[in-house]
Amino acid sequence: MRLSLGFALPSTLPSTSSSTHSTLRCCTLTQLINLNRKSIENQPLKKWERLLDPVDIEPIPSWIPAPARRPVKLGNRWMEYQGVRNWEGMLDPLDDNLREEILRYGHFVEAAYKSFDFDPSSPAYATCRFPKSTLLERSGLPETGYRLTKHLRATSGIQLPRWIEKAPSWVATQSSWIGYVAVCHDKDEITRLGRRDVVIAFRGTATCLEWLENLRATLDHLPNIDSDKSPKGHGPMVESGFWSLYTSGTTMGLSLQDMVREEIKRLLQSYGDEPLSLTITGHSLGAALAILSAYDIKTTFKCAPLVTVISFGGPRVGNRSFRQHLEKQGTKVLRIVNSDDLITKVPGFVIDGDNEVANNKDVNVSSLPGWIQKRVEETQLAYAEVGRELKLSSKDSPYLNSINVASCHELKTYLHLVNGFVSSSCPFRATAKRLLSNHSR
C-alpha cells in the first residue's frame, strides 16, 4: 500500500528569539542559528482539513533574510538548463543558474497550491480561488513575466457506490482544479530566458478520490502503437490511478488529457515558429501527472519543441518500457528527490539494473536471478525510475528541526533543500537560510 502525502504539518521553525554561534561548515565560516528543538507532536494542531494545505506558511522570522534573486541571462545556453544534455555536469555540484531555475519552477507549483480551495465546508471546495488574470499575483508571484492561459482539472475514474450519496459532498468530489498553463509574454523575460517558455504546473493530492486513485498501484498498459508488437507485460505501462486521473472525464467536462492537448495545440499554432520550450512541473501527485503529460504531448505532437519535466517529491510512475519510450521521445526529466521522503520510493519495486538510481538503498531486485525478476514483473508492480535525479536529504539541513514523513514530503522542504544544496561532498551551504515562501496568502 502506498501513502501519498499531500498535507503539511505546522512549521517546526520557532519564531521566538534564539542564540547564535559561529561554526565551520563546508569550509565556510558563518553565523548559524541555534534553534530550539521542539517536537511537532508537542505543538497544537489545526483542524485536520487545514493539514491538507502544504503551503500553509507561518510568517518569516525577522532573522531569516530573503534569498538573493539575481536573474541570470540564459541566452544561447537555455537548452542546457532545460536538459538537452541531461544536465551533465550541472547537478554535482549544483549549477547556481540551474538552482534558480528549479526554484523558479517550484514557485509556480506553490502558486497552484495557494490557488486551490482546500476548505471542505466551502461551496467552492476543490476549485480555483482566483481568475486567470490575477492568479499569479494573488498567489504571491506578481512579476513572473508569465500570463495564465488555461485552468486545468483532473477527474477520478473511480465508480462510487450509491451509499456515498449520504456522505458529505466533499467526500465524493469527482473533478477538481489541479493546476494551470501559463505562457511567458514579457519581452525582457523572453530575452533573459532565450526563448518563450510555456509552463504547466500541477499541485499534489488534495481530495478524497485523488487519495484513492493514488492507492491503485498496479500498472496498466498505455495505448501505444508499439504495444501491440511487444510481448505481454513488456509494453509501456503506468500506475493505474495516475493514468485514471489524467484520462478520465465527465459528461459535463473534458479529461485533463484533452484539456492539455487542446491548449498545447493552440499554443503551438500561436508560437510554433519561434524558439519555444514546454516546462511541466509538479509536486507529489502533480509530479506524476507532469511526467504523463510530457509523454502524452510528445506522443500526440510529433513536432513538439523541447519538453522538460521538473518534478518535486514524485512517486514512481511507470515500468522500464515507459522510461525507454520517454527517452526515445527526447523528453527530459529532472526529478528532485529527498532521500528521506517515503513517497519517492513507492509504489512497487525497481528492477531496472541499468538505471543510474537502481543501486541505491531503495527496494529493487535488479541483482536477483532473471526468473525472479520475471515473476516480479508479472505482478504488475515492477517500476523503473525515469530521467536524472537530484538527490537531497533533510538530514543535511541544520535548519530542519523535525525529520518526519510529512515534513520530508512538503514542497517548502524541497525548495529549502534545493536552495541549500552544494554537492555530494558539501551537501548544504553554510550561508543558506531556511527557504520559506516570500509570499503570504
Please tell me the distance from the alpha carbon of residue 441 to that of residue 437, in angstroms, as a whole number.
Answer: 10
Q: Taking Cα atoms as reference points, which of 55, 63, 67, 66 lies closest to residue 10?
A: 55
Strands 382-383 and 349-350: parallel
Following CA atoms 287, 289, 294, 299 in sequence, which dihedral angle do they give, to the nearest 10 degrees?
A: 150
Asked whether the beta carbons of 61 and 13 are under 8 A apart, the reply is: yes
Is position 117 annotated as part of the catalytic site?
Answer: no
Is position 409 annotated as part of the catalytic site?
Answer: yes
With cell 502558486, the residue in question is 111
Please tell me the distance from the alpha carbon of residue 225 to that of residue 154, in angstroms, as a whole number.
Answer: 25
Following CA atoms 227, 229, 234, 235 in sequence, which dihedral angle do they give, to the nearest 10 degrees?
A: -10
Residue type, 349: F
Asked whether the beta carbons of 112 and 201 are under 8 A apart, the reply is: yes
Q: Which residue among 56, 296, 341, 352 is the active-site one? A: 341
What's the Rg (C-alpha) of the chain? 21
Q: Which residues pair with 146 in a beta bridge?
A: 184
Q: Which residues pair with 220 in a beta bridge?
A: 238
Q: Which residue among 284, 311, 397, 407 is the active-site one? A: 284
Q: Which residue among 107, 221, 283, 409 is the active-site one? A: 409
Is position 341 annotated as part of the catalytic site?
Answer: yes
- Catalogue the active-site residues: 284, 341, 409
